[in-house]
Structure formats: structure tokens, C-alpha cells
Copies of this chain bind each other. A is one copy, B any other.
Amino acid sequence: MAGFEQATTVENGEAQLDPQWTVGGRPNGGYLLALLARAAVTAAHPDPLSASAVYLSPPEPGPANVEVESLRAGRSASQARVRLTQKERVCVEALFTLGDLAVAGSPRWSDAEPPEVTPREELPRTPIEPPAAGVRIDMLELLDQRVDFRRPGDLRGWLSFADDSPFDPLSLLFAVDSFPPATFTLGGRGWTPTLELTVYVRARPAPGPLRVRQRARLLTESLVDQVCEVWDSTGRAVAQATQLAAYRLADAG
């Protein structure tokens, strides 16, 4: 078992996509985004402030190539494009704004207060093969994920690494894509392949379990957009994401 940091290492443009950070055998989209961010950050701009990715073709666990192109190198922020390829097939392309969250400063105003969530100890840990998912979610062996499924289209719960490693701005890019699709509570079936994922990291998280809310916003016959918000153990908003995904109704056969 590779820890998250080790599993997202990129050296000389080469990465090893880890077989455990997967859903149905395929690397999780947030895991891939964190790996691309790790390749893009610099000493002056160590944090991803924004990350936007399009998912083109799902890679397999194993070797992959990561190519970073700097687009702008500013004083307080820089921007870069990063591309993940495997066997000469482009799998993901992402645009990043990089900066230093310590410089971005503390909250002055917020309309992102943490929602009420069932206490962590009252929710069961999501099993590796949840009956509704229809796939094996290997990454859940490395996570302590607890989800309240009682609100239609509005999942609320908690997330930790199973070994209690603290989250950082890079692993927050994973956290916002780690929850089940909110369509599970709306008659959806199976996983929802991500087309686009955009994340804003707003603060370095304090240690402790993250509070996560994943909401569906609008479903049509074939597409769903979701919003995921994450707060740290002190109740501070640390990340938010939107995601557009393909979707299949349970009765669509």
C-alpha cells in the first residue's frame, strides 16, 4: 500500500499510477488531478489555487507520462498546463493556477459555513464493494469514508485517510472527488464518468477528519453537474469543486 504522497510522485516526467487509488480498477479522477498538481507546483508557488481538468480517456494503473507547460510565471501566482499520457494516448489535461495559500491569507467573509452532518461515529464506514455501486472501490481500503445517504441529491459525511495522515492542498484535490455520486440517491445507477472537474483550494486544512458535502445540481437524461464542498475539522471552508459527468438513469436499460 502506497501512501497518497508516494502514489502521486512524479519524477522526470514519469509517474506510476497506483493500483489502489482506483474505482472499478481505474485511477480516481481526483487522484490523477493531485498527481498532475504535484508535478506543476514550484518552490515559490507550492499550492494549487485552482485546478480544472478534462478527462479524455481513463488510464490504467502502471507507468504514465506527465508533461508540464508553464503558461505564466507571476509574482503572486503562476499558471500551468499539465498533460497525462499513457502509451501515447492523452488521458487527462488540466490547467492550474498556483500560489501560496499562506500569502492568500485568512477568511474575511464567508457564505460557506459548514452544514449539519450526522456525527461521524454514528455513520458506518463505506465498504469496498458497496452494493449500489456495482464496482469495487479499492481506494476505500485507504480511506475512512462515512456518508449519510438520507437526503435526495445531497450527500453529507466525513473523510479521513485510513492511517490518519493529514490532508494538504494537494490531497484536497482528491478529497473533492472521493465521495459517491449524489445520483445514487436519485435513481441513478453505476458510476458517473467525469467529463470536467474544477477545484478551488482556499486554505491549508487543519489536521482531523474533513467534512464533505456532495450535491447534485441538475440532472438531464445524460448529464449531471455536482458541487462538492469540503471543510476542515475547525469548520473552515478549505476546498470546493464542480463536476460535469455522464450519467445513466436506472430505467434507461
Chain A residues in the interface with B (C-beta under 8 A): 49-50, 52-54, 56-57, 71-72, 76-77, 79, 81, 90, 93-97, 103-112, 153-154, 186, 195-196, 198, 200, 202-203, 215-223, 225, 237, 240, 242, 244, 246, 249
Across-interface contacts of A198 in B (CB, < 8 A): 52, 196, 198, 242
Q: Do B52 and A221 touch across chains, with their CB atoms under 8 A apart?
A: no
Partner of A54, one of B76, B95, B109, B218: B95
Chain B min CB distance to A74 (Å)? 9
* Given A97-B196, A222-B103; A216-B49 close (CB under 8 Å): no
Whole-angstrom CA separation of A112 from B242 in the bound complex? 14
* Given A97-B195, A195-B97; A217-B105 close (CB under 8 Å): no
Q: Do A217 and B56 touch across chains, with their CB atoms under 8 A apart?
A: no
Across-interface contacts of A220 in B (CB, < 8 A): 104-108, 202-203
* Given A52-B95, A111-B154; A202-B218 close (CB under 8 Å): yes
Chain B min CB distance to A49 (Å)? 6
Whole-angstrom CA separation of A106 from B57 in the bound complex? 27
Whole-angstrom CA separation of A14 from B97 in the bound complex? 27
The chain B residue sitting closest to A76, CB to CB, is: B222
Q: Do B49 and A244 touch across chains, with their CB atoms under 8 A apart?
A: yes
Partner of A244, one of B200, B217, B244: B200
Interface core residue of A50, A93, A106 (most chain B CB under 10 Å): A50
Partner of A109, one of B76, B112, B153: B153
Chain B min CB distance to A252 (Å)? 10
The chain B residue sitting closest to A152, CB to CB, is: B109
Chain B min CB distance to A126 (Å)? 23
